[in-house]
Amino acid sequence: MMKQLFENSLLFGANAPFVEGLYEQYLQNPGSVPSEWHNYFDKLQRANGGTGPAGPAIRDVPHGPVIQSFIRLAKEHPRRAGQVVDQEAVQGERILTTERKQVSVLQMINAYRFLGVRHADLDPLKHQEKPHVSELDPAFYGLTEADMNTVFGTGSLIGPPRAPLGDILQTLRQTYCGNIGVEYMYITDTEQKRWIQNHIEGSRAQPNYPAEYKRHILERLNAAEGLEKYLHTRYVGQKRFSGEGGESLIPLLDNLLQRAGRMGVQQMVIGMAHRGRLNVLVNTLGKVPADLFQEFEGKHVHELTEGDVKYHQGFSSAVSTTGGIMGLSLAFNPSHLEIVDPVVQGSVRARQHRLQDREGDLVLPVLLHGDAAYSAQGVVMETLNLSQTRGYGTGGTVHIIINNQIGFTTSDPRDARSTLYCTDVSKMIEAPIFHVNGDDPEAVVMVTEIALDFRMKFHKDVVVDMVCFRTLGHNEQDEPMVTQPLMYKIIARHPGTRKRYADKLESEGVISAGQAEQMMKAYRDDMDAGRNPNKTIIYGYKSPNAVDWTPFLEDNKWDAKVQTGLPITELKKLAQRLTDIPEKFKLHARVEKIIADRRSMGEGKLPLDWGMAENLAYAALLKDGYAVRVSGQDSGRGTFFHRHAVLHDQNRERWNEGTYVPLRHIAPAQADFVIIDSVLSEEAVLGFEYGYATAEPNELVVWEAQFGDFANGAQVVIDQFIASGEAKWGRLCGLVMMLPHGYEGQGPEHSSARPERYLQLCAEYNIQVCVPSTPAQMFHLLRRQMIRPLRKPLIIMSPKSLLRHKESVSSLEDLANGGFQNVIPEVEKLDPANVRRMIACSGRVYYDLLAYRRKHEIKDVAIIRVEQLYPFPHDDFQIEVERYPQAKDILWCQEEPGNQGAWHRIQHYLMRHKRPDQVLGCAFRPSSASPAVGYLAKHNFQQNELIVAAFREEI
């Protein structure tokens, strides 16, 4: 048997580790190894007592003896010095040598799949030498010029099963070392790898387009270059963040949206920073050039209170494709580059939800990145991490890197990043990466087609890295030669992608001499006329699936009265559904007690706590037809063990089953309820929820921070989108942020949600900042957010210890009657004529003030609660001031230090309402550089001091 194995083996001793790895792979998945190895291992299995790959016991067969046979083969057949060599031995040695080289050929093929990209011709500037990669040299494997005509098996390489080594090498270099470089061998899914190999190796990575389409590509390049040059001469020196040097982006996008349309995509949402944005707006989305020119000349939209620069603007349009009309949306984006990534994903998820597009076949997200930002900004990684999760997945994103090889003024790779390629972060989700030379527009289009097809088949992210350059400086007023003299000497000599491609087509006979310049002149004529020559754009189209924002665009008032209460009988029915748990569903003992108490609350036997009131608010909205989406790092249970919207069967046997969500079983025709325990991210998740809420006004979208100050990690989203999106771009948004807040001695990081930051952002009625102090207030506040025809972001300073405070409870009547109170008056029976001071406060400090007043039997101090800090409820507050005509002073009391909290923002409101004979005072912690103290004893001391100060005789 050993002799037979020797005579037919492909093995030799030095390659035993390689073969052993193949054999391990074979044991895991027989179809994952080349066919010749598959057949050979089958024979070895049977020779060693196995059942073969079809047998169920294949992975249980010990493979040690087989591996040992590999090693013995090399040891048992050495050529010993002076030994007489018979004919059989010579023949055996020849076979062994041939098979040794066969293994080397297969290793080399594998090396090109892994490392061929290192020698790919990707850089239009050719300003960096290619590294030496020994694994791409046949000599590394002992293969020489004498072997070039020898025929070897090609394994799984797409093409002939056997070919001369010279042909194999030419195929590998053409496929993996041309103008396209591919990275995909790190993907663990064999089907995905085989799919990419079929598409890359099958075509040898060589585009092959008909003459008509080549002329179309040239026309798109003409448009890309033509617009930039037109703007450069007409508006000299004005910032526009030119896309010159990356003109192939325009034919790329043109092909992408047309191909996506043919595949049934109905909507495409695009996100990008400012580089080349004006070009995309005009040449891809169809913005009328005349409108763009007016923006350069200083005209603006008067409906926007603040507006934004032209290269941050979004746009919506529609294009005609052979598959039907496709809606296009370019998301608004500030200069924070990659921050738009999660916003686009959220907008896409909302649209997919509306279309019941569960796989992501109808709505496609496309993100355009700069190379430096893609590798450097953390929100990229956070967004990639969302891509395959249940709560945030969108069926895969097409990422396009506009690789200018420079970030602002940093071009040395040693300074730009710590990875080999700017795209390496994509490997964390095993996204395939297609690098391509931007000077080869046909190759750019080809890899884009492959990337889109991959995304649509496997519903995973995919990356196209278009390596190009930046013709001008960071902006049109910048001089790049100051910092990159060598790079910009090369760029100055570059004729431009359009010129190179036009010359190529002319040499091929695809266009006649001078035809390219005629096309360019025609484009300039269109610009002079202010019209867009893109005939696929459909102006004035309104998709039947578009959401209607009209009810929220009217002059609705934030203080409009709406009915948020429900009849008690209805509340009891909802409570019954919330506490109806399936039989044999085993609850944790603590949760079982909570559900039992809630059952009593619904029957009116116990007062309602916060968790029950919040769940009732959701249940009522769902029954009324409003979908609800809640996300956060522990939203299902609740960070403070209060929500329990998701129940867990204690007897479940698998981690991915055994949950029950009562809010999905409220009514037969209820709206959708989604609650997500999010990834441990704030920036990307909050950006995602903002994007979702801006695309869906009829759904309550809630993001809950684990602790309120965790929102610090998402400050860019708050500043640039949530607070200012309407003023800059006219984007309405009803997002709710729940930020647990309260000074309870938990230290600097778990006390303050930083209300002062949100109040500082308040202007022009842009957001709402509320601090509810009872369960009923939370119920009405959440209901009001949807029932009122107004969509403004709502910031809730939500409770922690109040969730179980014996005084902070409500009754069913409180939920049935009235609505959200912007100001809660004094609740105890005080004689208004005897009140010497009115204390105004917000949040949990109220209950400390109340306890102190009761303990000391104080009857001349009234306590009112300002539940909405912005927009400030002036009328309601004035009523309370007038209620106490003898009050000599008004005092604001807060838990936060004096330089924080609401005091600095609210004092001018209080000054407006105090009478001339009244004094305005305050009580709070000493100003501090930290949000809160870290020592419990000091916390308690400060808390006692501020409560005492609130009641002292003199301010």
DSSP annotation string for 810-837: B-HHHHHSS---SEE---S---GGG--E
DSSP H or E run through 841:
strand 837-841
**Highest-confidence range of 138-142, 314-318, 406-410, by mean pLDDT?**
138-142
Residue 78, pLDDT score: 44
Residue 474, pLDDT score: 82
Handedness of CA 882, 888, 893, 898 (dihedral sign): positive
Please say if the pLDDT value at position 866 is more than 90.
Answer: yes
DSSP H or E run through 270:
strand 267-271
- For 920, the 3-state DSSP assignment is strand
- Contact, 613 vs 810, CB < 8 A? yes
113 token code pair: 């799949």
The b-or-e profile of 742-759 (16+ CB within 10 A means b, else e) is bbbbbeeebbbbbbbbbb
| In 15-54, alpha helices (H) | 16-28, 35-47
104 token code pair: 């080397």
How far apart CA 219 and CA 200 sit, in angstroms, is: 27
Average pLDDT, the chain: 90
- The four Cα atoms 678, 680, 681, 684 give a dihedral, to 10 degrees, of -40
Q: Where are the domains of the chain?
A: 2-201, 239-276+309-494, 608-646+663-816, 829-951
Residue 80, pLDDT score: 38
Handedness of CA 681, 687, 691, 692 (dihedral sign): positive
Cα-atom radius of gyration of the chain, to the nearest Å? Answer: 34
Residue 625 to residues 330, 354, 620, 666, 672: CA-CA distances in angstroms?
Answer: 30, 13, 9, 11, 9
Residue 464, pLDDT score: 98
Band (43; pLDDT cuts 50, 70, 90): low
Residue 471, pLDDT score: 87
Quote the Cα angle for 722-376-687, to 5°.
20
The fold of the 829-951 domain, in CATH, is Rossmann fold (3.40.50)
- Contact, 846 vs 944, CB < 8 A? no
Residue 28, pLDDT score: 67
The least confident of 95-99, 201-205, 446-450, 666-670 is: 95-99
User: Residue 416: phi, psi to the nearest 5?
Assistant: -80, -30
List % helix, strand, coil for the chain (3-state, nearest 5).
Answer: 45, 15, 40
CB proximity list for 696: less than 8 A, separation 6 or greater: 350, 353, 354, 547, 627
User: Residue 321: phi, psi to the nearest 5?
Assistant: -125, 165
CB proximity list for 461: less than 8 A, separation 6 or greater: 384, 387, 396, 397, 398, 399, 426, 429, 431, 455
- The domains spanning 239-276+309-494 and 829-951 adopt the same CATH topology: yes
Residue 542 to residues 266, 537, 911: CA-CA distances in angstroms?
Answer: 12, 13, 50
Better-scored residue on pLDDT, 52 or 274: 274
DSSP H or E run through 419:
none
How far apart CA 407 and CA 117 sit, in angstroms, is: 22
Band (298; pLDDT cuts 50, 70, 90): confident
The predicted model gives 709-733 an average pLDDT of 94
- For 778, the 3-state DSSP assignment is helix
Residue length of the chain? 955
Query: Could you report the per-residue pLDDT of 463-520, keeping only the tens digit for each?
Result: 999 999 998 888 878 888 999 899 989 999 999 999 999 999 999 999 999 999 999 9
DSSP H or E run through 872:
none
Instruction: Please name which of 376, 437, 366 lies closest in space to residue 407, comparing C-alpha atoms.
Output: 376
Span 608-646+663-816 CATH architecture: 3-Layer(aba) Sandwich (3.40)
Instruction: Please name which of 308, 304, 397 lies closest in space to residue 346, comparing C-alpha atoms.
Output: 397
Query: Could you report the per-residue pLDDT of 57-76, keeping only the tens digit for each?
Result: 333 333 444 445 444 444 44
Identity of the amino acid at 52: G
Which residue shows structure tokens 């995509």? Answer: 265
- Report helix angle 568-578 to 589-602, nearest 10: 160
Band (3; pLDDT cuts 50, 70, 90): very low
| DSSP secondary structure letter of residue 537 | B
How far apart CA 760 and CA 904 sit, in angstroms, is: 9
Residue 313, pLDDT score: 81
DSSP H or E run through 77:
none
pTM of structure: 0.90
Handedness of CA 41, 45, 51, 57 (dihedral sign): negative
| In 530-645, alpha helices (H) | 550-553, 568-578, 589-602, 610-623
DSSP H or E run through 180:
strand 180-183
| DSSP secondary structure letter of residue 410 | B
The fold of the 239-276+309-494 domain, in CATH, is Rossmann fold (3.40.50)
Residue 928, pLDDT score: 96
Instruction: Please name which of 361, 359, 330 lies closest in space to residue 344, comparing C-alpha atoms.
Output: 330
Identity of the amino acid at 414: R
How far apart CA 473 and CA 640 sit, in angstroms, is: 52
